[in-house]
Amino acid sequence: MLTKKQHELLMLINERLAQTGISPSYDEMKDALGLRSKSGIHRLITGLEERGFIHRMPHRARALEVLKMPEETAVSTPAAGGISSNDIGFDAKVIHGDFKSLSGVTPANEAEAVELPLYGTIAAGAPIEALRGESDHVSVPASLLGHGEHYALEVEGDSMINVGIFNGDTALIQRCDTAENGTIVVALVDDEEVTLKRVRRKGESVALEPANTAFETHIFGPDRVKIQGRLVGLMRKY
């Protein structure tokens, strides 16, 4: 079974091969599917290849071959590389998701993925430079997210290892500007540095606590720390 985006991309590739004999470029695929990053196209192509729908021919740029189409699909008359309706028909068996990619709204099928902006690296040790501009996207299972706006950060450092946050993890963050004591947050310090720590307030002081005894807790005045989000999930590659 294909996701909606996988189906759209497969139809685009097959149509272009039927018309010109050449598959569309990654930029053309990205624009046609309304994605903001070519990494999303790479993920879709990999998924189609793993499911046996397309084949990437080695050592040739833009060389894709459509091996099959989903069952009961009618497609256009082929030229080089395309598959015709005489070969196979199609009934679009697609996983539909009516969520907004950054809203955190969970779709009916929680196996569908949400594309979140990946805002670079955040230190789980000493604070680093403020959040950078959006540079990429990451696919996240919708079941890991709740309501609201979300983004992702790559963790760097080991000051939070005692709560299971390791160097190289992808932290899933829900945007917010307040958090209860004990919450792990993205904290902006002095309007120029960000860090991932547990926040605790006592009187007028704000403490940013690590979860590793090798690191110290830092205490700031109330005007020096701004909450930019709270940790809601982690993703890890092995």
Could you tell me the pLDDT band of residue 182, with boundaries at 50, 70 and 90? very high
Q: Which two tokens stand for residue 48?
A: 């189609």
Return the pLDDT at 132.
53
How far apart are alpha carbons 213 and 163 in whole angstroms? 12
Find out whether 73 and 24 touch, Cβ atoms under 8 Å: no
Q: Is the pLDDT of residue 152 over 70?
A: yes
Q: Does residue 162 have a pLDDT over 90?
A: yes
- pLDDT number for residue 57: 77
Q: Tens of pLDDT along 55-102? A: 887 766 668 888 888 864 433 333 444 444 334 333 322 222 222 333
Domain ranges of the chain: 2-95, 113-235
Q: DSSP label at 90?
A: B
Q: Determine the CATH number of domain 113-235.
A: 2.10.109.10
Q: Does 23 have pLDDT greater than 50?
A: yes
Q: Is the pLDDT of residue 1 over 70?
A: no
173 confidence band (pLDDT: 50, 70, 90): very high
- Name every residue whose Cβ is closer than 8 Å to that of residue 161 and which is 6 or more positions away in sequence: 211, 212
How high is the pLDDT of residue 164?
94
Q: Which two tokens stand for residue 205?
A: 């002081």
pLDDT at residue 109, as a whole number: 43
Global pTM exceeds 0.75: no
**Domain covering 2-95: architecture:** Orthogonal Bundle (1.10)
Instruction: Give the pLDDT score at 126.
Output: 60
Alpha carbon of 210 to those of 74, 124, 182, 189: distances in Å? Answer: 58, 8, 11, 15
pLDDT of residue 131: 56
Q: What mean pLDDT do residues 22-39 have? A: 85
Q: What is the per-residue pLDDT for 114?
A: 81
Distance CA 23, CA 110 (A): 32
Give me the phi and psi of 198, to 5 degrees please: -85, 130
DSSP helix, strand, coil percent of the chain (3-state; round to 5):
20, 35, 50
Identified catalytic residue from 85, 159, 202, 237: 159
Catalytic residue (choose from 197, 202, 226, 237):
197
Q: Which residue has the higher pLDDT, 203 or 108?
A: 203
In the predicted model, what is the mean pLDDT of the chain? 76
- Give mean pLDDT, residues 156-178: 91
Q: What pLDDT does residue 190 have? A: 83
Query: pLDDT value at position 129?
Result: 53
Q: 2-95 and 113-235: same fold?
A: no
Structural tokens at position 40: 């999303």
Q: Could you confirm whether 197 is annotated as catalytic?
A: yes
Q: Which residue has the higher pLDDT, 104 or 197?
A: 197
